[in-house]
Amino acid sequence: MTERDDVRRVCVPLGERSYDVVVGHGAVSELASMLPPMARRAAIVSQAGIPFSIDPGVPYERLDVGPGEGHKTLATVEHLTRAFAVLGLTRNDVVIAVGGGLVTDLAGFAAASWHRGVPVVHVATTLLGMIDAAIGGKTGVNLPEGKNLVGAFWQPVGVICDLDALATLPARERRSGDGEMAKYHFLTGDDLASMGLAARVARCVEIKAEFVAADEREHVGGGRRALLNYGHTLAHALEIATEHALSHGEAVGVGLVYAAELARQLGRVDEDRVAAHRRVVGDEYALATTVRAGVRPDHLVELMARDKKALHGLTFVLDGPSGVEVVADVPEADVRAALFKVVEPRPGTGAG
């Protein structure tokens, strides 16, 4: 990582496709330098209401997508790519995503698909986008059957994390980032909560970059990048089951505690390690460690079985004696037993 007083620069090292992530107040001033030299125009993908303006230094057309996960669909990608056609966007031009993870996922997938790939720059405006979604090249959309089931790997040519964008971030969006930060705590042991904001964001970017460089396309069979999904198997199921009433980070918080409970159920960790998960998630990041009544365990098990990692039965990223690793073929009885530790029963129904 290189830095000056106001900006830190982290490299995602992928050979000739390496790119920088610029973190700091006023980092958006670096945007024009990140555009491909041949770019003559830009399509800026954003959302109405995002209070963050940019000047890419080239002529541009702004294309807004709708708010909420209900708009993270193939239909929205079709809308964007048809707009690219009207704009006459070429392979020498650029797509610029300005927003949170939903925007960068949609814009990245549309860029990967248009002319089989045009450059994309992400300007992340949420904490979750800065430390996770905008980095690493994963793009995708949801289906009714599950989250992020259709997508592509398409690395950006640069990422901007201007901390000024966080000044008006709603509390719920901040919690989404906090859930991912708690995940990084368990992957590295770093005490991120004690760091200042710029150092914390830059360290999370460094961690994500290290995982991406080691396993860019999440090697089939549980490569290193799959560990970034710690807590996410249940989290994605909760997002779908609650129709996104839970934000991503809120769901990840519960998912991290659930992963610890499942690891204890399998004899991989002890109660002290479970307690550490509850302390970090609940106390240090002020996230819920259980989900309230109304979510059916049967539905959650069904959704978790559709998870992208589920190559050999129910598959989870779990803590253990050798650290966090991918564990396949987890018995359904243990999956259900651990669920009862984090899913509060509906009134009058007992544990079911």
3-state secondary structure of 347: coil
Report, as residue numbers or ranges, the catalytic residues.
Answer: 116, 138, 180, 208, 218, 225, 229, 232, 236, 248
Q: State how far the Cα of 209 lies from the Cα of 214, in Å rounded to an integer.
A: 9
Q: State how far the Cα of 188 lies from the Cα of 203, in Å rounded to an integer.
A: 11
Neighbours of 205 (CB within 10 A): 26
Give the residue carrying structure tokens 């992928």. Answer: 14
Instruction: Tell me if 343 sits within 8 A of 352, measured CB to CB.
Output: no
Return the structure tokens found at 2: 């290189």
Backbone angles phi, psi at 222, to 5 degrees: 100, 50
- Helices 332-339 + 297-305 axis angle, to 10: 130
Of 91, 4, 105, whose CA–CA distance to 39 is shortest?
91
Distances (CA, A) of 60 to 56, 89, 123: 8, 10, 15
Give residues with Cβ within 8 angstroms of 333, minimum separation 6: none
Q: Quick one: which H or E segment has residue 257?
A: helix 248-265
Q: Which residues in 316-326 are b (16+ Cβ under 10 Å) and which e?
A: bbbbeeeebbb
Instruction: Tell me if 253 sits within 8 A of 285, measured CB to CB.
Output: yes
Q: State how far the Cα of 130 lies from the Cα of 99, in Å rounded to an integer.
A: 10
3-state secondary structure of 117: coil
